[in-house]
């Protein structure tokens, strides 16, 4: 199954990567993270593990200001 089991979300703030979200026991296809507003110059998603598949696919990333 290509479903992600473990992933991490980071943002680049003033040249340094900061972890703003992680999930080590994911069981959903739609994954959401909420974090405080930051002024960032980059976004990085690290897909760590799946539930058995050799590869995972990322289809869409959305960022919203609330």
Q: What digits encode the pLDDT tens for the residues 32-65?
A: 999 999 999 999 999 999 999 999 899 999 988 8
Distance in angstroms (rounded) separating the CA atoms of residues 57 and 2: 7
pLDDT band at 1 (very low <50, low <70, confident <90, very high): confident
For the entire predicted model, the pTM comes to 0.87
> Are the beta carbons of 1 and 50 closer than 8 angstroms?
yes
Candidates 62, 59, 56, 4; CA nearest to 33 is: 62
């Amino acid at each position: 199954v290509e479903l992600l089991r473990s992933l991490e979300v980071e943002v680049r703030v003033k040249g340094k990567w900061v972890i703003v979200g992680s999930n080590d026991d994911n069981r959903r296809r739609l994954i959401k993270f909420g974090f405080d507003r930051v002024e960032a110059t980059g976004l990085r998603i690290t897909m760590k593990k799946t539930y058995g598949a050799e590869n995972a696919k990322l289809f869409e990333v959305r960022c919203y200001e609330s």
